[in-house]
Amino acid sequence: MRWEELRADRPAEGMLPLDLPEPAARGRGSGRAGLPLAPTGPVIAGTEDAVAIEIQAKSLINRVPATSDMPFQWTINPYRGCTHACVYCFARNTHTYLDLDAGHDFDSKIVVKVNAGPVLRRELASPRWHGEPIAMGTNVDCYQRVEGRYRLMREILSALRDHANPFSILTKGTLIQRDMDLLCQAAEVTDVSVAFSIGFLDETLWRHVEPGTPSPSRRLDLVRRFADAGLAPSVLMAPILPGLTDTEEHLDRTVGALVAAGARSITPIVLHLRPGAREWYQGFLRREYPRLLEPYRRLYRDGSYAPSAYQREVTARVRTATRRHGLRAPGPDSFRRVGDEPPDGASPVPPTGGRQAVSGQLRLL
């Protein structure tokens, strides 16, 4: 693999079963990591092995391509791959750039940039860096389980705080609570934005769709804690799953819980299925909801995005619910300014505009 020369040559510290907590005495952090170090030699794609692949990164701050529609220019991703194992994750295909697969490999073979902290400090101190805002969690979650061992985010946040560099974080991970002290310190010297991804509350569905993440109820508790700490969290109500979580009743229940928890703003995002994610999600539907295979084929027949009319209808339902529960619509200071989708609170629409939905599109599913 072309990135093998970046592998960190260090001995394994021992293998941890995936379902056991890490011993509190470990020196590299606490919490559930659950991944043994990859053995020396090439990492083989398509195997059942679950491993952490340690590398020495040459750089950490990434420039977003100028052709991108993203509302931010710079990102940090201390990990590649994600143990959250969300069946819909749009970043799945990026694992194929490493000659790994977009399915099980993405969930279980996690690339760890072990020197993230020192590299970031070097880049922030460079005269070529001008302190632009940096978005984190826009590709894979920087607070996934393996962060419990490596604690890379504490080093990253400390560096951003010390350089008073503005940043945003989007996460499903409850590990972020460990770093609330650093987030509060950084918020005293620069702009800090924290957002949580909570698309629905159904815990039966959650176990199928987001099996490696903290439960929606635990994420709701995080919203409360961050709101109480004065960090004014936003929520990405994402993804909204056609035929599963898009009814008025379902959306209203989720919005009501988010408002009650203290969300500053709520931005709905309808599911989009890019290559890699599309095939993995279809496998999930085939196993769990085969009745939806044909409706999804029709809904996404023109590409990665649902029709714009369907997206607008779902967004309107969420906005109606936010008004009903007493929350204003997202303003210009919303986290969407630095998140992974358009900043106006609308669901993502292809640059050329989506196919117009047939009448009653919501009833299709």
Which one-letter DSSP state was computed for residue 7? B
Highest mean pLDDT among 43-47, 72-76, 165-169: 165-169
Please report the pLDDT score of residue 21 as a whole number.
33
Q: Which of 89, 56, 60 is nearest to 75 (CA)?
A: 60
Lowest-pLDDT range of 1-5, 285-289, 299-303, 360-364: 360-364
pLDDT tens per residue, range 322-354: 999 999 755 444 444 433 333 333 333 333 334
pLDDT of residue 71: 80
pTM, two decimals, is 0.82
Name the least confident of 60-64, 138-142, 293-297, 353-357. 353-357
The residues with which 240 forms a beta bridge, in sequence order, are 270
> Average pLDDT, whole number, for the chain?
83
Q: Looking up tokens 């936003």, which residue turns up?
A: 234
Is the pLDDT reported for residue 110 higher than 70?
yes
Token output for 357: 């939905």
- Give 54-91 as a DSSP string: EE--S--EEEPPTT---S-SEEE-SEES-TT--TT-GG
Q: How confident is the model at residue 223 (pLDDT cuts 50, 70, 90)?
A: very high
Question: Closest Cα partner for 75 from 139, 30, 26?
Answer: 139
Neighbours of 243 (CB within 10 A): 17
- Per-residue pLDDT reduced to its tens digit, 246-289: 999 999 999 999 999 999 999 999 999 999 999 999 999 999 99
